[in-house]
A = this chain, B = another copy of it.
C-alpha cells in the first residue's frame, strides 16, 4: 500500500475530519448530541431532517470519528465520540464571535459577503 504525502502527513484524514463539521445538517446533529446520546429517531425529530438523510450523515460522522454508536435492541444510540468534539466547537464559536464583532465594526462591505469559494453561492439559507 503506497501512501502519498497527503495520507502520510494526515492531511487527508484531517480534511475529512473537519468536513464532518462543515455542513449545516451535520452541525444540527452534532448540536443535538451535545445534549447527550440520542437514537436515530430522536435525532430525526430534533433536527427535522429525513430519516435517510440523517442516517447518511450519521454514517459520515461516524467515519469521521466524530460520533460513536451502540445498538440497544432495535434502537441505535449515537453520542459524540469525545469531549474534544465539543471543545472544538466551543473554540470555533468564541473565534467567530470575535470575527463577527470585527465584521460589525467594518463598514467597508455591503450585506452580501461571499464567505465561500468563488462561483459557489453555497448560501441556500439567505436567498
Q: Which residues on A are within 8 Å of B, measured CB to CB? A: 1, 3-4, 6-7, 10-19, 21-24, 27-28, 31, 56-57, 59-60, 63-65, 81-82, 84-85, 87-89, 91-96, 98-100, 111, 113-118, 122-123, 125-126
Contacts and interface: CB of A to CB of B under 8 A. Distances in A.
Given A6-B125, A15-B23, 17 more contacts: A7-B125, A10-B96, A11-B28, A12-B123, A12-B125, A13-B96, A14-B92, A14-B96, A16-B22, A16-B116, A17-B92, A19-B19, A22-B22, A59-B118, A64-B115, A82-B95, A88-B95
Q: How many copies does the complex hold?
A: 2
A88 B21 CA distance: 12
B7 A27 contact: no
A82 B56 CA distance: 34
Contacts of A126: 1, 3-4, 7, 12
16 contacts: A1-B126, A3-B126, A4-B125, A12-B123, A13-B96, A21-B21, A22-B22, A56-B118, A57-B117, A60-B117, A63-B115, A65-B99, A82-B95, A82-B98, A88-B92, A91-B91
B24 A15 contact: yes
A16 B100 CA distance: 13
